[in-house]
Structure 1
Amino acid sequence: MNVSTSATSSEISHELIRKITWRLIPYLGFIYLIAYIDRQNVSFAKLQMVGDLGLSEYAYGLGASLFFIGYFLCEVPSNVFLEKVGARLWFARIMISWGIVTILLTFTNSTAMFYVLRFLLGACEAGFFPGVLYVMTLWFPFEYRAKMVGSFMIFSALANAIGAPIGGMLLDLDGAFGFRGWQWVFMITGVPAVIMGFVTLAYLDDRPESARFLSAREKQWLHAPLATEDKSMNKTKHGNPLAALLDGRVLLMCFYYIAFPLAAYGLSYWLPTIVKGFGVSNTVNGFINVIPWVIVAIALWIVPARASATGKQTPYIVGPALFGAACLVASVYVPGNAIKFAFLCGAAAGIFAGQPVLWSLPSSFLTGAGAAAGLAAINSVGNLGGFIAQNVVPWIKDATGSNEAPMLFLAASLTVGALMTFWVQALIRRKRGESGMSLTNVVAH
């Protein structure tokens, strides 16, 4: 899609997008980095917490996965509220509340308390990721969104890269000031979210119309292509945002997306355990776990950028996913820790690289409050994949006695997700065709 009408307008558009990008993406990405660390810190705390609470791998996986149940139940209401009250107030509320719950996990003294707090953490954080996706529909024309989502999601890879050595080092603080290492993990990682919640109140703007860093001319320029885009792409505007939940495309994408968080959380949750099996210390484990996430960050930069440059989505979703599935299978059967780890790095890149492109699909047919509800629904149902992974992966390990066997389950799930892309695209294409609009240059075949 080309929204520019002249060379001058093109120059203005690129300069404006660059300005908005630098204002929003690093800040939102940094918040996401904190969120991801707070979500994944449980994978390192697990290395000590299981013994302290007397839990089996399966019971601990259940507790960790209750995060996704709270997330699932609260995500759509959260995004509907965000659309009503604005991103500034709602993101601040999300961060402060999830930071407090993370800190409270420090004082977990029973299985029941662990379960309750993990559920509350999911409920508090619910709405942040789809909220950011919705905010991007307000600030960036469609042609830029896959690349912007990719840039934003790079921070999740950085969170894993940073969180891994931090988690390992905090575990090695075991006994300092009377706290166990796993308690230090929760205590230290919860504080930044509370701080950034208050910073958000002063920094973030809700919409371009109220942005303090944009001139009147820039606001007017940005409004024009976004309004034209909604009409030219024949987007569906639901009067009641909850009506978007009954849209067949949204329903299909809800189940389609499950495969990707399932593979992502299954791998990231289990990777420290696999590396520990190499016979390394907690701190070395943390630093080794930096490597796959650096590779993921590079993939998240390259793949969405290529998708934006070519105007195609399907190859850049299916290709990385099938590559990731193949690497997961290979990691089970190849000999030697180094080669096994190399394939796991490739699997991580394949799992994550196409997801920003995937997230451009719903914004090609949803707009307004319906987009807020629809994006939240897709993400909330899809993230049940995390619940499945954190229960099925340890169950497979307990049943087989192998740290590598769960990778076959993740590979099968990712393959199903990759192939479903063709079905999703066909439905989007058919619905748009029924409305008399060609998919050319909007959703590529």
Structure 2
Amino acid sequence: MPSAHVPRSGSPLDSAVAKVFRRVVPLFVVMLICNQLNRSNIGYAQTHLETDVGIGAAAYGLGAGLFFVAYAIFELPSNVLMERYGPKVWLTRIMVSWGAVSAAMAFVNGPEMFYVLRFLLGVAEAGFFPAIIFYFSRWLPGSHRGRATAMFVAGSSIAAAISGPVSGPLLSLHGFLGFAGWQWLFGLEGLLSIVVGCVAYRLLDSKIEDAKWLSAPEQEALSASVRLEDDARRAEAGAKAASVSRWRLLLHPQVLVFCGIYFAIQLSIYANTFWLPSIVRRIEGTNDVTVGLLSSLPWICAVIAMYLAGRASDRMGRSKPLLIFSLLVAAGGTYLAAIASPVVALVFLCVAAMGFKSASPLFWTIPQGTMHPAVLAPAIALVNSLGNLGGFVAPYGFGLVKEATGQVTYGLYALALSSLVGAALVLLVRRDRSLTGPTQPPEAPETPQPRPGPEAGPASPRPAS
């Protein structure tokens, strides 16, 4: 929904928002980079795990996917505990625990241990993404959440872009101090997450009132803005929504449509996350370092596309048309990659990545603006949990396909089809009074002000109508 209070240039609210963008958003980006590095580094270690530990394509795909099964099971409980203990404590717990489990991957000695550690990594990470999205809803006016979410989600593409150049040299440490290169990869990246988690504990605050880096007027203005929007949304939803159980709302058809859309997006994201290095290895003359460098190209293109899509969405004030377009681009790029030669396929995978990665931040602006505050946190957790099951289906399915056929062509066909289905589901997104109240929000208490500067970010997209 549109913000009920747009910060006035030079006002305490404008200053507070700018400080959040300088202090909190970059920290969350770094945390997500660590998250994605630890989640996806097995893609670069795959061939070494097969050689040294005996983990074949199907076992690798199953282990990669088990992460998401655990993530889905523990996402909602983790989010509830986050609300109880606060983001400061809970996000630190998440980061330190996933770093420890990731580091333990350096001692994998067979498929069974691989399965167990991947499942535990999912348990450790569960709740991270919805906790960040919920944090934004408690710390930023609606006019800035779209840019903040886009910047945060861009961290996953940044991680994917740098993971190849980082993983290649780490894998080349093979034999140093008696450890294999893949052991250095898991150990050092896990340790990095632990360190960043400790830093986050020092820098984060659970409530605006706890932030000593905000002046008293800034705290008051920011709290009032967020509270005003919550009150306005509750007024829109009316007494009917207030009397409906939050658990019943979680089963609302519109929420399930969100789950289906996000599932389609995640299929493409994680199929490429875990299998892109394998696809790139089809190019003749590649090694660990060149595979890492070439695998970064689609994600670099995705970062640029995400930024442009975010700006376009802010200017249009609607995310829905751009989300449909992004999913169609993903479908077209993936299909063409399946029928092209290895070198040309990499070009089309760059196009596909621009589509499915842009779709993710565009998608999240819609639920944030259409869900009632009373169900926002658990609903986001549900959508993220069920959608992330695509992270199980994609790598495991690709593993089965590759083991059966020796290639991943049919898997790419399936991904193209899933993106088309996701685009069709976006057409089913509608406003519903049980989730959002009347189509038009109550009149804002203040007249519109000039657009905020780039540091604070432009207005977030309005929810699709």
TM tier relative to shorter chain: over 0.9
* More displaced stretch, 361-370 vs 403-412: 361-370
Change (3 A) 1:83 1:432: closer
Say if 1:241 and 1:372, in contact at 8 Å, map to a contact too: no
Letter in 2 for 1:174: H
SS at match of 1:361: helix
1:222 is displaced (CA, Å) by 1.7
Correspondence for 1:228: 228
Say if 1:238 and 1:370, in contact at 8 Å, map to a contact too: no
Say if 2:328 and 2:419, in contact at 8 Å, map to a contact too: yes
1:352 is displaced (CA, Å) by 0.7
Say if 2:333 and 2:349, in contact at 8 Å, map to a contact too: yes
Correspondence for 1:323: 329
Say if 1:146 and 1:305, in contact at 8 Å, map to a contact too: no
Correspondence for 1:9: 8
Pick aligned residue for 1:300 from 289, 306, 310: 306
Deviations, residues 387-440 of structure 1 (Å, cap 9, x unaligned): 0001111222233332333211111111111110111x22x346468x444379
Letter in 1 for 2:383: I
Letter in 1 for 2:147: K
Say if 1:274 and 1:404, in contact at 8 Å, map to a contact too: no
Correspondence list, 1:191-340, <5 A = 191-233=191-233, 234=236, 242=247, 244-279=249-284, 280-335=286-341, 337-340=342-345
Distance in 1 (CA, whole Å) between partners of 2:204 and 2:72 is 26
Change (3 A) 1:237 1:392: farther
Structure number with the bigger relative contact order (C-alpha 8 A, sep ≥ 6) is 2
Say if 1:67 and 1:119, in contact at 8 Å, map to a contact too: yes
Instruction: Provide the TM-score with structure 1 as the length reference.
Output: 0.93
Distance in 2 (CA, whole Å) between partners of 1:364 and 1:283 is 43
Pick aligned residue for 1:380 from 385, 393, 407: 385
SS at match of 2:49: helix
Deviations, residues 330-381 of structure 1 (Å, cap 9, x unaligned): 112234x332211101101100112112111222233546222111111011
Distance in 2 (CA, whole Å) between partners of 1:238 and 1:41 is 46
Distance in 2 (CA, whole Å) between partners of 1:286 and 1:80 is 38
Pick aligned residue for 1:360 from 362, 365, 373: 365
Does residue 392 (structure 1) correspond to residue 397 (structure 2)? The answer is: yes
Distance in 2 (CA, whole Å) between partners of 1:274 and 1:343 is 12
Structure 2 gaps, min length 5: 443-460
Distance in 1 (CA, whole Å) between partners of 2:143 and 2:37 is 30
- Number of residues of Structure 1 aligned to a counterpart in Structure 2: 439
Deviations, residues 302-331 of structure 1 (Å, cap 9, x unaligned): 112221222101012111111111011111
Deviations, residues 134-174 of structure 1 (Å, cap 9, x unaligned): 10101122232222111111111111111112112222222
- Aligned-pair identity in percent equals 33
Say if 1:238 and 1:369, in contact at 8 Å, map to a contact too: no
Say if 1:80 and 1:369, in contact at 8 Å, map to a contact too: no
Distance in 2 (CA, whole Å) between partners of 1:17 and 1:299 is 25
Does residue 53 (structure 1) correspond to residue 53 (structure 2)? The answer is: yes
Letter in 2 for 1:160: A
Distance in 2 (CA, whole Å) between partners of 1:240 and 1:252 is 19
Does residue 62 (structure 1) correspond to residue 62 (structure 2)? The answer is: yes
Structure 1 gaps, min length 5: none
Distance in 1 (CA, whole Å) between partners of 2:410 and 2:257 is 29
Say if 2:334 and 2:412, in contact at 8 Å, map to a contact too: yes
Distance in 1 (CA, whole Å) between partners of 2:261 and 2:203 is 35
CA-atom RMSD, angstroms?
Answer: 2.2
Distance in 1 (CA, whole Å) between partners of 2:55 and 2:192 is 29
Change (3 A) 1:34 1:26: same
Distance in 2 (CA, whole Å) between partners of 1:127 and 1:31 is 13
Deviations, residues 44-102 of structure 1 (Å, cap 9, x unaligned): 11121012222321121101211111111111111111111111100111011111111
1:228 is displaced (CA, Å) by 2.6
1:9 is displaced (CA, Å) by 2.8
Say if 2:106 and 2:187, in contact at 8 Å, map to a contact too: yes
* More displaced stretch, 144-153 vs 130-139: 144-153
Pick aligned residue for 1:438 from 437, 440, 445: 440
